[in-house]
A and B are shown apart, each in its own frame.
Chain A
Amino acid sequence: MITKNIIHGIFSDEVPLLEACKKLRSSGIRINEVYTPFPLHGIDPIIGVPRTRLAICAFIYGLIGLGLATLMMWYMMIHDWPNDIGGKPNWSYYFNIPAFIPISFEATVFCAAHGMALTYLLRCMLVPGAKAKNPDPRTTDDKFMIYLELNEEQSKKADEILRANGAEEINYKGTLVIEAKY
């Protein structure tokens, strides 16, 4: 059984927060999360947030959209009910491609954009009715927070580093008991 302290280090500016993050990391303390009112550039490598793969998802969704649109237009215009429009018969998809480009493009964008947006919302568990994920409501306004879960020994070290780097408040929010699995 391990007992961990939950620590909220609150800052009123992003510059000392970044400095504190660097110090914490270099003394081997894992930063669980940082809550900020706006995106802090350059914080991801410091606290070890890997680059998101959402853009790759968007690309795949786009390909799916393109495929679906092609299948739909081929089925409707070429296979199911070919028409002869303006002396240009719909006998093969290949010869009609120029007319199908606009909708292929729109469907690609449609699927890429909506697919990525949905993936993003679900990946972050952002759904209507979800509980607010920030432990301290001031972090959407003007406060910046480092959230730590540490054992007794590391807590003391972190407390020192936070204090030395200009943390405005250091709040202990109880303990977390983790049962050993073996």
Chain B
Amino acid sequence: MHAESQIREPLILGNPTYRKITDDIIAPIEGKANRLWYILFTISVLGFMWGIGCLSYTIGVGIGAWGSNNGVDWAWDITNFVWWIGIGHAGTLISAVLLLFRQKWRMAINRSAEAMTIFAVLCAAIFVTLHTGRPWLDYMLFPLPNQFGSLWPNFNSPLLWDVFAVSTYATVSIVFWYIGLIPDFAMIRDRVVKPKMKKVYALLSFGWGGSARHWSRFEEVSLVLAGLSTPLVFSVHSIVSMDFATSILPGWHTTIFPPYFVSGAVFSGFAMVLTLMLIVRKVYKLEAYITIKHVEYMNIVIIVTGSIVGVAYLTELFMAWYSGVEWEQYAFLNRATGPMAWAYWIMMTCNVISPQLFWFKKLRTSLAFTFVLSIVVNIGMWFERFVIIVPTLCRTYLPSTWNSYSPSFIDVGIFVGTIGMFFTLFLLYSRTFPVIAQAELKSILKSSGQEHKKLAEEHAH
């Protein structure tokens, strides 16, 4: 039996039996939804419907329906795309990087974080497919044999790297998630009594039986998938940042972009995980498994990545000054003092100052404060992408092309629609899927359970 240091706080509170863990995880699936769930679901679906309306309108009349114009040809579409993709990164980070580092606290949150990743990538995909203008021609993004000569996509372009990176990321995340879900679906299959449900979960569980041979392969697959996903997750946002960094626009053409984007992505992703998990633990009464200590660990990640983001902002400013390139200098001066300075200062406040509050233990262990701050961070990260994209494109090299930007209500509608879609999917997921990887959680009960740790300590004296 693996023993854990007494200094580490327990990850499972109270003294649940294996059966109790099963019961707690299956409760939302077997039980009926409460009123709060229905209220949230209705709001989300309404937002989603509005989004579908705006999306259909865009497909019908073209992207002229957006606020984008000749100078500012990327605006909310790419802002939202980068925002959603960034949010997705926390899921893979939690399940892959923390697995490689043997961080046991990931087990209570990895399932939902990965679900969040997949839903966020779906939302991001909407914007990239739409922003091409003619989404029905998007198959041309892929290197398919064709009758245009054959005309192939340009493999030197970061935009094409992005197509490959995001599709690899989406599919590998789904596979990683599903491999982990199979044993938990089997648990539900063996547990539920309603014949229809039993049939569905039997189909989903692929006949899993939990034999020692299968578990041994399962662990190997999880470990190797984690090893593959870790560089993958870093590559995806690096490549997203190269969409900007390989251009020649002042303010975009910087080598700091890849690490800066990756840490920003993890930063916003953890914030979104916190927003969701704080609701999930409350609504489904999972406080014994997603403890204050879990929240604190995540908040520590937020301090670290938030500080990296803060340092990156300052480095950008320093490099602009130190480079002596006046266009570069102007780009940053324009961000901080130009017509969209308000966005810059919202970004600075939300991303640089607010996470530093987590240095106070009282604040990072306060659930209410964490919840508010997790939303503040995501607002800040949305503005980061907005500040990088829009003010830069408003003031490019030629003053005759200088322009302004304001979003149309279609822009807002599609964005709200993706938020609605994200929460609709997450709410449906939380009622039909095991929200905690119960098999993994059971494996740490003896080493990290509160009662077991107490017994171990008494035994030692």
Which residues of A line the B interface, CB within 8 A? 14-15, 33-41, 43-44, 47, 49, 51-52, 54-55, 58, 72-73, 76-77, 80-81, 83, 85, 88, 90, 96, 99-100, 102-103, 105-107, 109-110, 112-114, 116-117, 120-121, 123-135, 137-142
Contacts and interface: CB of A to CB of B under 8 A. Distances in A.
B416 interface: no
B235 A105 contact: yes
B443 A39 contact: yes
Given A43-B212, A77-B154, A113-B176, 16 more contacts: A36-B210, A41-B443, A81-B150, A96-B156, A102-B158, A102-B164, A103-B161, A106-B161, A112-B228, A113-B175, A116-B221, A124-B214, A124-B217, A126-B207, A128-B204, A137-B191
Contacts, number: 199
B171 interface: yes
B9 to A, nearest CB: 22
A44 B150 contact: no
Contacts of B300: none
Contacts of A141: 18-19, 22, 187, 190-191
Given A39-B218, A52-B220, A81-B149, A113 B190 contact: no
A102 B442 contact: no
A34 B212 contact: yes
B277 to A, nearest CB: 22
Given A102-B165, A102-B235, A73 B155 contact: yes
Nearest to A123: B217
Interface stretch (B71-79, B128-136, B178-186): B178-186
Interface in B436-452: 439-440, 442-443, 446
B152 interface: yes
B221 A39 contact: no
Interface in B191-226: 191, 202-221, 223-225
Given A33-B211, A80-B150, A110-B171, A58 B228 contact: yes
A117 B175 contact: yes
Contacts of A72: 143
Contacts of A44: 212, 216
Contact of B208 (A77, A116, A126, A129): A126
Interface in B225-278: 225, 228-229, 231-232, 235, 239, 242
A169 to B, nearest CB: 16
B172 interface: yes
B contact face: mostly helix, strand, loop, or mixed: helix
Given A52-B216, A126-B206, A76 B152 contact: yes
Contact of A132 (B208, B439, B446): B208
B258 to A, nearest CB: 11
Given A55-B220, A109-B231, A142-B17, A134 B209 contact: yes
A41 B17 CA distance: 19
A130 B217 contact: no
Nearest to B212: A34
Nearest to A81: B152
Contact of A54 (B172, B191, B220): B220
Interface of B: 1-2, 17-19, 22, 143, 149-156, 158, 160-161, 164-165, 168, 171-172, 175-176, 179, 182-183, 186-187, 189-191, 202-221, 223-225, 228-229, 231-232, 235, 239, 242, 439-440, 442-443, 446
Contacts of A123: 217
B152 A80 contact: yes
A127 B207 contact: yes
Contact of B221 (A15, A34, A36, A54): A54
Contacts of A54: 217, 220-221, 224
Contacts of A99: 155-156
A132 B198 CA distance: 11
Given A39-B443, A132-B189, A106 B205 contact: no
Contacts of B168: 106-107, 109-110
Contacts of B1: 15
24 contacts: A34-B211, A35-B211, A37-B210, A38-B443, A47-B212, A51-B216, A55-B224, A76-B155, A81-B151, A90-B156, A99-B156, A103-B164, A106-B164, A117-B175, A117-B225, A120-B217, A126-B214, A129-B203, A132-B190, A132-B205, A134-B186, A134-B209, A140-B208, A140-B210
B175 A102 contact: no
B154 A85 contact: yes
Contacts of B235: 102, 105-106
Contact of A40 (B190, B215, B221): B215
A134 B156 contact: no
A123 B213 CA distance: 10
Nearest to B444: A38
Nearest to B223: A55
Contacts of A121: 206
A117 to B, nearest CB: 5
A100 B153 CA distance: 13
Contacts of A47: 212
A41 B4 CA distance: 15
